[in-house]
Structure 1
Amino acid sequence: MSTNTASSRLSQLLSIFTPSKPATMPPWDPDSTSFPTRQNLPPHPIAPKGASWNWGATDQLGRLNLLTPARVLSARRTITTGQLIPLNLPLSVPATPSFNRRPFEHTIKAVAPGISYDDEYTLNTQSGTQWDGLRHFAHIPSGLFYNGAKGADIEAEGSDVCGMQAWAAHGIAGRGVLLDYWGYTIAHNKSYDAYAQHAISHADLVACGKWQGLDIRPASQGGDIQIGDMLFVRSGFNAAYASKTEEERTKLAKREGEALTYAGVEQSEEMLDWLHDAYFAAVAGDAPSFEVWPPKKDERAERKYYMHEYILALWGMPLGEMLDLEALAVACGKQKRYVFFFVSSPANVKGGVGSHVNGVAIL
């Protein structure tokens, strides 16, 4: 190799990995079969440490970029019976939402009495089965949302930066993977209260996967998780909700501060590394909070943090909560197969913060 060629090659490498030259950092190729681990992310000129804002300066899709036509076509192989399983709770469930959110209201309007009717909804998109969008939660230390958006951008009249309309225009479809942790604990006599602050660790999910016949390591590490998969974790909230009286549900939903607790995935370095490095296109659970609530501090972390900061703000990954995974868990258990085709149609709302999932699993 000539001196000039070597010098040119070195300049190209420096232009990619030197944060002072953002214009020369090319967007990642969504169809790539190899992406950097969380511990080896290249530095970004304006992003907080640990961010992967690498899909382009104006990107609003985040990890949905991984749902390429090739991956969607490949995911169709998971359809073997054609069984349809909707994953949405009724809009009226829960009747009393957590976190002081407004309950769903439905009004019938008579256009021509006895002949024609309309209906009107009043809905907080975060009150039930939901996608948390990229406007929902910022990285707290920097105050930045995904790809550098700020609160002022979101509050500006007419702004649509990181709005739900981008996801709606792209669509959500691909391979889903269920980890039935609730079913695993029942099978192993490891009962817990889904309304309590029960943290589901990475080791717990590894064990759950083995029970289901899945190696939950990324395919790049020899496991069964493929780039662009969508993860669903059943923590048992819907089963617990169904076992309560309406009075008990209301009382539990109205808890405040540290008294408001739910089971969910643990805030830990192992969990962060796995969720990032598996390159899921989206993650979702059945509880009001995908992560254990309130957050538990990882002793190795500099501060008590929310998984939402990483999943939404730093990685641009759709975060689903309160999906109905009960029928799906039963069907997957009967078939001894926990992968399926999943499709979701978010609401096409300019500047939307979140959306009802409108999701269906196809086995």
Structure 2
Amino acid sequence: MTDQKGTANQRLTQIKDFLTMNKTATTIPWDPDCTKFPTRKELPDIPGAPPEAAWVWGDNDYLGRLNLLTPTRVAAASREIKTGEIIPVNLPLNVPSQPAFGREVFKHEIKTLHENIAYDDIYHMNTQSGTQWDGFRHFAHISTGSFYNGTKGSDIVGPAANHKCSIHHWAEHGIAGRGVLLDYRGYAHKKGINYDPYDYYPISWEELYHCGKDQGIDIRPASQGGDIKIGDMLFVRGGWKEAYDSKSPEDREKAAFMHDTEDGHRFAGLSQEQKILDWLHDCYFATVAGDMPSFEAWPTHESYHLHEYILALWGMPLGELLDLEKLALKCRERNRWFFFFSSAPANCPGGVSSHVNGNAIL
């Protein structure tokens, strides 16, 4: 009886697609070129996967939502280039001077090959110490210990370590498409909303919606009448870089060692609320990123982290500590919040994460 119902529903979807010229993702593995995908509440149950997992692109897939960056969508995104202005979003490798969460300080050495003739660089760094992509090996679904698409800790380190969810898969595919910036920090200044990016402050879906409205865009997915297209890349400016620049070197170092205190680190970021989860999923963003050290408000006040959903369950690259100051300024000057964006992750087989190496092009 269940099979008959499923067959009938699939046939009904085919008829609707024919009438609307859509292509709905129904059979796993999903076709990235589909024009309609299930909402978070409509996700199919996947045997062996945690609830709400969207491991839908194939058994050996380690690209996740990057699959949405198809040639068709990348070509369409290129039409956002109007002035050709290139705006890098990468912090210097030594910023922050003392990384948070106990991470290693960036060190740079010059190696002399031949005096006055030739020199090399030697970098010592943690890929989480500056502008970064959190790779799928970075954060698991905690209760099941599962990383994206069933990858386990034993796949990452130890005698059975392999290349499941390695960052090099992203490098080989490439990242390019249409970006959208929500300048929440600019909106907050305009509306007199005062908060400290170095303190816990959850940015709600409602606030982001009004921020978008103030910028002249509807942040809902196109399937709900909004301006967000499948495969768009989200950027949220929360103001961390602005706050960092205003601090003295001593205050920066003090803030970086908050993890050693009873309270631990506290940062502004997206709220861990159901509306945010629905929005992040249902927009079918290819990637999400912000200028905050954790993207989500830290520490979470819920029983879960956004990292678990974004990385482990949905396979969505998550960027942190991007320098969005100049981009926000230019977007506001031009009154344009969509742009072409490209990123070149490190081609490191077995790697966990990567610096973004990203450029926005207006």
TM norm structure 2? 0.92
Distance 1:194 1:8 in 2: 48
Distance 1:47 1:119, change over 3 A: same
User: How big is the alpha-carbon RMSD for the aligned residues of Structure 1 and Structure 2?
Assistant: 1.8
In structure 2, the partner of 1:202 is 205
In structure 1, the partner of 2:29 is 27
SS at match of 2:258: coil
In structure 2, the partner of 1:120 is 122
Q: 1:59 aligns with which of 58, 61, 69?
A: 61
> For this pair of structures, how many residues does the alignment match?
343
Deviation at 1:10, TM superposition (A): 6.0
Deviation at 1:156, TM superposition (A): 3.4
In structure 1, the partner of 2:173 is 170
Distance 1:43 1:117, change over 3 A: same
Distance 1:185 1:308 in 2: 25
Deviation at 1:258, TM superposition (A): 2.9
SS at match of 2:185: helix
Superposed, which structure 2 residues align to 1:94-173 within 5 Å? 94-157=96-159, 159-173=162-176
Distance 1:7 1:244, change over 3 A: closer
Counterpart check, 1:78 vs 2:80:
yes
Amino acid at match of 2:282: D
In structure 1, the partner of 2:40 is 38
Counterpart check, 1:278 vs 2:283:
yes
Mapped contact 1:63–1:281 kept (Cα < 8 A): yes
1:40-61 Cα shifts (integer Å, max 9, x gaps): 1011011111010000000000
Distance 2:327 2:270 in 1: 20
Superposed, which structure 2 residues align to 1:259-270 within 5 Å? 259-270=264-275
In structure 2, the partner of 1:21 is none
In structure 2, the partner of 1:350 is 349
Structure 2 unpaired stretches of 5+: 12-25
Mapped contact 1:266–1:296 kept (Cα < 8 A): no
TM norm structure 1? 0.92
Distance 2:6 2:45 in 1: 21
Superposed, which structure 2 residues align to 1:266-345 within 5 Å? 266-297=271-302, 304-345=303-344
SS at match of 2:170: helix
SS at match of 1:131: strand
Distance 1:154 1:190, change over 3 A: same
Amino acid at match of 1:261: R
Identity of aligned residues (%): 59
Distance 1:147 1:38 in 2: 17
Mapped contact 1:265–1:292 kept (Cα < 8 A): yes
SS at match of 2:178: strand
Distance 1:28 1:91 in 2: 38
